[in-house]
Chain A
């Protein structure tokens, strides 16, 4: 999934190294503990009536030290949200960007959603309960998932009527329509998924899916070709499952691209984009492209059917502008937050002068060095291990801006994702090349020798092609990798290009045979370790263009393990299975993990902001209130 561009390019917070490392470290570690011990136990407490679910919260448990709900929260008021980046897609069927999600979830109700203070536990949203094997939601060995949706949820004007299961079915079906072109449908629901829905083929372009059935208005049944179980449940927490009325959106979806989400939209959540009540047109009314977005209360939302408190009356987004200015406007202003990644100077200012107005959220993704496993020098696993051993990961953290921006990565599942602890937690698998985060030349040389270079240095004739992004701190990081590599005797050739070009033209095109892409990054799509490891490291997921398995990792053992792990339905076993795969990836040194990222967020002094732990800490507009 895409995060704010500046996050992947990384934000520098220079000069904050020595300051307050311990202070932030402790609060961050608290949230990471949620990764290992979480389970679907919450479902056991949920009632299956159509009423509100009371999620068992430990009192005060919240990464920012605030209570989420309660009568002490101030109702009403208008919040200003600044972002220098515009939205990509407001159509929940197309959104694939952390900032878009920040608007999707307050306005749309997918089957399942996340409370802000968890990175892994889904809560029932439109659905009444989380389907499990125990409550009969998951049957047929995991190949059938039955979801009951609540009654009393209505669309906003002009549709107004109650939501039915057919609306959810249509929402998923339209995703494959090329006019909608949902980016992750093939990976999680369609033909490319580990457990595709029945009836979806590679040529499927929209239209009714046999694998989705709606026996009655409040029930929807999913049939997959292979067992998927809770994986499908987690996947359905993506906005794709937010209901879309076919009578309203159908005609719009015939246009290329669809105008549902670009001109017209209806909502089911507590908020909606301000629009014409008669037509649902929001373009030009509640949304000025590149300028502003206005969220107002959805008149048809029934608070009793929702866990969202929705304190604010109105939310005004202001798009564009200079990040330095925005930072100050938020910190020194009133009733405002920043949605995109803050500028370095703003983070420094906040940290030094307004420490209560900045939050750091762990588990915002990771970065690693992609090494070409299929061709070139790094076909040899020992050479990969050698380079890993010698890489100074601590220095990379410093280059990115210090410990506030992240911690050295020691494996691939990052904090907040289930399986993190099982895969080794902060220290990671204790293989020799992973032990030292600052790099160890002797260990590296051992593996060079194991690769056949008796002197401990590379003596071959091949040149290592390195391609990286030319913005932010990336050039410095690439330089570091370059020098660590040349220390081992490699001849290197470095190219710095625009980040999108790096992905689109070089690292994402297997034929280019780029040996190392040092600044690629990944963020999970939803709370399942598969979404962190599958696409980047699964052999059959390699595509000739737009490839995200940048290292072209195609290890038969790993592939087989992934296929198996994808179909594990029990959450604990699943976490363990993927943790094992993580260890295998480390063992094979398929890529070199660099850092586990933190994301900084800014708020004004009179805002009681709540961060979405599951969405890189983006402010949760349903739970945020004014002070």
Chain B
């Protein structure tokens, strides 16, 4: 396994000191079944006022990494290593009380389902004023009027009436706006949004994303958006990290990721975004297989069981993040050669079918890894996945024809990525 620690990378538009700098963060949990390595050495940076998108499926560690920033993963059973520097202070080493004061004040977080994330028994206004008065010594009435202001800020009409209503009296979209308002109550420097639009329908999604952008412009808040849907971050993120199995497998600016994605997993994500300009009847291509167990991860490249372009060596060697030719801030962890990858991506874009893509992958010269000493990965014992056999597409939908992917709707695609919560993915 990789043992080198990575230094804090610079973001693509690096101008000054990053607001948040995550350095080789590792988070693991002790469970009855074994040690879950939810986050296994990730690093990224975020400048003030910028937006970072962290994309991955459930079990990728995307949420855990952000919760850890706020110290919400601290417990008897968790082990956190690495550094999270926020405005220069290391949040990992910070004591509980200091951390608590940062939470909700300088760094705040919003969550996926605003109906369950807001307390059903308290009025929205009360929950807002509570957020304020936990950090500032303002009077109740001042807090109340500020709460109304905040609701107006996030675009909720008739805010003075709304602050005395309960969460269940709001619509889904309005609830999320209210959560955002609550998160912004103390003018945080960083807002972490964990799947903010997943529980909403598509039109509302767009509104919320637009709102976030608007707020960022007005307030200068840096935003981290965590999502499984690349489409969500396409508009608003400056940089994107793609996470898989607790690691970042590709990181770069939004342009880089969308125009020249390097990692097969990223390709899979891109191909599963429904696009209006795709020909009608063209099938979406899901990524076969399921997310790996974070207790017993696959050997070598953790993605290898699901990678259509896997080669023998990939099962033994664990790739590191290396820069892409020509874009030093765009890094990827894949053993395929740069050229091979470009060809495959071009092939994907021009609509080639899977078999020809794979032939393309196999035809290129394979690097000779025979002189590299291969450390045996202890954790690869008993991997619970059978590696995808070449040439066979594993499919999960029942009753489909062998060799072809079944038609799926956007919802099904989304749902696939929204697996039931694993214990690893808190």
Whether the complex brings A and B within 8 Å at their CB atoms is answered no
Question: Which residue numbers of B lie inside 8 Å of A, CB to CB?
Answer: none
